[in-house]
Structure 1
Amino acid sequence: MNYFLTYTVYVLILSVLMGISTWKLFKKLGYNPLFAFIPFYNYFIILKETKHPKWWAILSYLPIVGPIMMSVFHLYLMSKFGKTSFKDKLLTVILPFIYMATINYGKDVKLEDENDLFLTDEEKSAKKKDSFIGSVTFAVVFATIIHVFVTQPFGIPTGSMERTLLVGDFLFVNKWSYGYRLPMRPLAIPFLQGTIMDTGEKGNPKDDPKSYVDAVKLPYERILQFSKPQKNDIVVFNYPQDSVHTAIDRKDPYVKRCVAVAGDTFEMRAGRLFVNGKPETVLGDQEVQHAYTVNTGTQLDIPGMYNTYGFLPVREMQNDKGGFTYMFQGLTDKTAKDIKTMPNVISMEENIYPKDSATISYKLNADKTAYTKSIDTTQSIFPINKPWNQDWYGPLKIPKKGDVVTINQESLPMYQWVISEYEHNSLENKNGKIFINGKETNQYTIQQDYYMMIGDNRDASLDARFFGFVPEENIVGRPMFTWMSLQGAFKDASSSYQAPFKIRWDRMFKATNTGEANKTSYWWIAAMILILFFGWEYFVKLFRKKNTEED
């Protein structure tokens, strides 16, 4: 209810501003000036008077698309009073209620005659151009509505979900899978997630220009939630510990597999995953993968291996024995067996971190000749006070709504983000005492469900083992199908080699969340939709021409 109350206030404020700045103009149009204050109806009148589809009025206050359509409607209204110059249009878009108010309270404002019989050729051309711009604008708005309220495209830039989802797969995500999460930043640029542009590695990401207005915000609310994420679902969610964006729905989108739900106990033993003490269930479209270190006497033909095995992230370095060392991040059992039998392979060992050891990363030397081990402080295991790593992790119980958990110095690192960031409480830890919302306490009641999201390619995945629990409010939805798949579309930072570019036709228009090894391709349905979309107007014109000839 908080969401709808805030949204109602937002609509009323805009309606009051609209009424104050245009009531005289509505009176000149022949309407009661009070109509200028009525939400939706005020824009309905504008569309009626300017001979545009009146149902567009329902778009006027929708999140994201509302501000766009309002600007269009304001331009329509100004055109009724002869304000059609570039300066007029710019001021109407940039300072709508201020500029319209100057026209509204001006003494010389007059209603223009819209009768086409009295228009010059130049004016008719301008009107036709405005109609075209209006059509293009509505096409953009329609696409934005689909993007915001129905489904969202999503690309796979990393190998964390190989070989279930491949680097270069482009998906459509169903936003209604777990109930629709209402937009929380209603003023935003369409199609952009968090920022307008990236200022680069030297800049601070927090300084990148935002694609949304953070000051205008709505609380979290989810509607029509008939199901929640289940074990083995592939889920798209907003990265919980994104420090750049405070808006939940503007945080970076991630895709992982939900391996444990609220109330489950998650554990990794020597790189193998267990839930509630039982080994994971490997679905038909999953392939178990592990990291390996391979020592060879001569170089391996990595480009040729890419052609044979597909995804193959690897780092190559010369070793002190005159040979080469290769660090593969994700090899299936079959691929590992094939590589081990190659004549130039001297040794091959699966990489498993020792129990109770810190997370280790490999960084390229300044002269770019070799990699050295280093402690990776940017990918600290969650929680930071546990002697765990990505191969030996847990057991960790996933918080469930209604759970009462003990809060002390030992458990605080586990629940700190839950209390302060995800459930929006004030939290203080001073003089050995813990204060929540100003009150000293040693327990806390969990307010929402949490999930453990892990990549299928476990040794190449930045997942919940590093950033912790994923709150329910961060869930976006389930991927529906892969509409395009391009090998080599993204540069793999974890590999010394770039995969050769090619289109993977066999993956296009296949469902992503079935768990089946051999998924059905629905490319023929996509082809029919495209034919209907582009051919409809042609067939309509042909039909009209035929009827005209018969008459």
Structure 2
Amino acid sequence: MNYFLTYTVYVLILSVLMGISTWKLFKKMGYSPLFAFIPFYNYFIILKETKHPKWWAILSYLPIVGPIMMSVFHIYLMKKFGKTLFQNQLLTVILPFIYMATVNYSKDVEIEDEDANDVFLTDEEKTTKKKDTFIGSITFAVVFATIIHVFVTQPFGIPTGSMERTLLVGDFLFVNKWSYGYRLPMRPVAIPFLQGTIMDTGEKGNPKDDPKSYVDAVKLPYERIFQFNKPQRKDVVVFNYPQDSVHTAIDRKDPYVKRCVAIAGDTFEMRGGRLFVNGKAETFLGDQEVQHAYTVNTGSQLDIPSLYNTYGFLPVREMQTEKGFIYAFQGLTDKTAAEIKTLPNVVSMEESIFPKDSATVSYKLNADKSAYTKSIDTTQSIFPINKPWNQDWYGPLRIPKKGDVVTITKETLPTYQWIISEYEHNSLENKNGKIFINGKETNQYTIQQDYYMMIGDNRDASLDARFFGFVPEENIVGKPMFTWMSVQGVFPDASSTYQAPKKIRWDRMFKATNTGEANKTSYWWVAAMILILFFGWEYFMKLFKKDKKEENL
């Protein structure tokens, strides 16, 4: 409810600005000046008077799409009053209500009838008009794509191997934003198609200084509509990285894709690299291939390119010793591991599992042996930070559920502090061992939303919930629908000494990604139908316009 109230306030503010800056122009067009203040109807009149489709008015206040459409409608209005130069259009886009107000309150502004002047246009003016038509077509193509991107489905690429071999590095997916109810946009003024930043300033720069792709000052609260389903165990889910410190907007945080292994109320545990939920070992779906890391000792060098061609994704590091070679493999299924073990030059092979109770913090003696230095492996910073767990021996940990009343103590605070202060937006203070939430001392807290445990199928090469903790429901984007493109070698693999050659994986294109079935449904026919409809419609419209033109003659 807060979302729609805030949204209404923004609409009313924009409508007042629109009215103040254009009411005289509406009067000159023969309408009541009050109509300039009425949301949607003011743009309906502009479209009617400038002879554009009047239904476009419904797009004028939509999040992200709205600012683009408003700029287009403002330009139409200014052209109606003779402001057709490039600098006029630029001012209309950059300073809309200020520039329109200067036109509105000027004494000599009058309506120009474009149709009456068409027969008197010079060749240069006709060329300019054709360019305007072309730019308009491009604009509305971008608007249409933006509507699909914002309100229906979003493309998403797989840059890392955390979900191998369920999802491959170089897979490009379409994500259904309605799978778990549609999450309404929280930053309504933003550049289309960009996630969080316009550009990366590089390794030496501070990511927080990268130019944002959205206006952070104009914000709307979290709201989800038509939520008929919630993430279930085994779902592959796309979500926004919870602990992204660069972006304050939830829907602008970096997108991640993992498998939901435990839902709110479940107890999650890892025992020797094997996953347990509610005390039961996990079961596997037909399309799910869980991988593990292995250390392989060989008498001679392995043919890694040949192994890659045979098995696909094989991140590996190689080290030569006096006795032969040591290989650290990530992402081996049980079947692949068994086959590699039978190679003639393999001396020994064992799964790489962290020792139990080996915490991520260690202490090393200084060179002069005068003191110990604390050492933290940031790649293994397990959640919560006060537990002696690691990625192979983890938990048991209960996943918070909406309505749970949890006890807050010095021991449990690291588990719940992000929930209280960041995800559920309360003030949290720890003063002399006493916990204060929103200024009141307490030892209890009621969870306000459901949380989930998202883990990669490639368990030993996945930055997942074992490291960053619970994923709030408000961070959920949706389910992957199908792979529309798959390119091997498109993303460099920093974890491997071998880089795969680039090639298109035709067998993965337009295949469903979230069915749980080993044999995926193909959507090639859908792609073909869309292309036929698109080009067929374009051809039909050209014939229609040609026939209409001949009738008019």
Q: Same fold (TM over 0.5)?
A: yes
- 8 Å CA contact 2:359–2:387 kept in 1: the answer is no
Superposed displacement of residue 470, structure 1? 0.2
Equivalent residues in 2 for 1:83-482 (5 A)?
Answer: 83-114=83-114, 115=116, 116-319=118-321, 321=322, 323-359=324-360, 375-482=376-483
Superposed displacement of residue 284, structure 1? 0.6
CA distance in 2, matches of 1:516, 1:65: 37
Secondary structure of the 2:10 match is: helix
Structure 1 residues not aligned, in runs of 5+? 362-373
Which deviates the most, 497-506 or 66-75? 497-506
Amino acid at match of 2:111: L
Secondary structure of the 1:330 match is: strand
CA distance in 1, matches of 2:295, 2:360: 17
Superposed displacement of residue 103, structure 1? 1.0
Which deviates the most, 50-59 or 290-299? 290-299
Superposed displacement of residue 359, structure 1? 4.0
CA distance in 1, matches of 2:36, 2:443: 55
Superposed displacement of residue 418, structure 1? 0.2
Amino acid at match of 2:537: W
- 8 Å CA contact 1:167–1:487 kept in 2: the answer is yes
- Residues 6-55 of structure 1: CA distance to partner in whole angstroms, max 9, x if unpaired? 00000000000011111111111111111111111111111111111111
Give the aligned CA root-mean-square deviation in angstroms.
1.8
Q: Tell me which residue corresponds to 1:369.
A: none
Superposed displacement of residue 508, structure 1? 1.1
Superposed displacement of residue 289, structure 1? 1.5
Q: Tell me which residue corresponds to 2:10.
A: 10
- 8 Å CA contact 2:298–2:326 kept in 1: the answer is yes
Amino acid at match of 2:539: Y
Superposed displacement of residue 288, structure 1? 2.6
CA distance in 1, matches of 2:233, 2:67: 39
Which deviates the most, 399-408 or 41-50? 41-50
- Residues 86-130 of structure 1: CA distance to partner in whole angstroms, max 9, x if unpaired? 211111111111111111111222221222234444333322221
Superposed displacement of residue 542, structure 1? 5.2
Superposed displacement of residue 246, structure 1? 0.3
Structure 2 residues not aligned, in runs of 5+? 363-374
Amino acid at match of 2:280: K
Amino acid at match of 2:150: V
Amino acid at match of 1:252: D
Amino acid at match of 2:433: G
CA distance in 2, matches of 1:548, 1:104: 37
Secondary structure of the 1:91 match is: helix
- 8 Å CA contact 1:359–1:390 kept in 2: the answer is no
Secondary structure of the 1:527 match is: helix
Q: Tell me which residue corresponds to 1:71.
A: 71
Q: Tell me which residue corresponds to 1:365.
A: none
Superposed displacement of residue 500, structure 1? 1.6
CA distance in 1, matches of 2:545, 2:247: 53
- 8 Å CA contact 1:35–1:41 kept in 2: the answer is yes
- CA separation of 1:22/1:293 partners in 2, compared to 1, >3 Å: closer, same or farther? same
Secondary structure of the 1:176 match is: coil
Q: Tell me which residue corresponds to 2:365.
A: none
- Residues 471-529 of structure 1: CA distance to partner in whole angstroms, max 9, x if unpaired? 00000000011111111111111111111211111111111111111112121221122
Indicate yes or no: 2:529 matched with 1:525: no
Amino acid at match of 2:506: W
CA distance in 1, matches of 2:126, 2:9: 41
- Residues 220-266 of structure 1: CA distance to partner in whole angstroms, max 9, x if unpaired? 00000001000101100000000000000000000000000000000
CA distance in 2, matches of 1:45, 1:545: 29
- Residues 66-95 of structure 1: CA distance to partner in whole angstroms, max 9, x if unpaired? 001111111111111111112111111111
Which deviates the most, 22-31 or 256-265? 22-31
Amino acid at match of 1:80: K
Which deviates the most, 528-537 or 154-163? 528-537
- 8 Å CA contact 1:358–1:375 kept in 2: the answer is no
Superposed displacement of residue 544, structure 1? 7.6
CA distance in 1, matches of 2:480, 2:18: 40
Superposed displacement of residue 143, structure 1? 0.3
Amino acid at match of 2:9: V
CA distance in 2, matches of 1:37, 1:543: 38
Amino acid at match of 2:145: A
Identical aligned pairs, as a percentage? Answer: 88
Amino acid at match of 1:72: V
CA distance in 1, matches of 2:76, 2:529: 37
Indicate yes or no: 2:65 matched with 1:59: no
- CA separation of 1:281/1:107 partners in 2, compared to 1, >3 Å: closer, same or farther? same
Q: Tell me which residue corresponds to 2:486.
A: 485
Indicate yes or no: 2:30 matched with 1:30: yes
- 8 Å CA contact 2:360–2:388 kept in 1: the answer is no
CA distance in 1, matches of 2:312, 2:448: 44
- 8 Å CA contact 1:40–1:58 kept in 2: the answer is yes
TM-score of the aligned structures, taking structure 1 as reference length: 0.95
Q: Tell me which residue corresponds to 1:367.
A: none
Amino acid at match of 2:39: P
- 8 Å CA contact 2:299–2:346 kept in 1: the answer is yes
Superposed displacement of residue 402, structure 1? 0.3
- 8 Å CA contact 2:380–2:390 kept in 1: the answer is no
Superposed displacement of residue 330, structure 1? 1.0
Q: Tell me which residue corresponds to 1:506.
A: 507
Amino acid at match of 1:537: E
- 8 Å CA contact 1:214–1:247 kept in 2: the answer is yes
Secondary structure of the 1:466 match is: helix
- 8 Å CA contact 2:3–2:221 kept in 1: the answer is yes
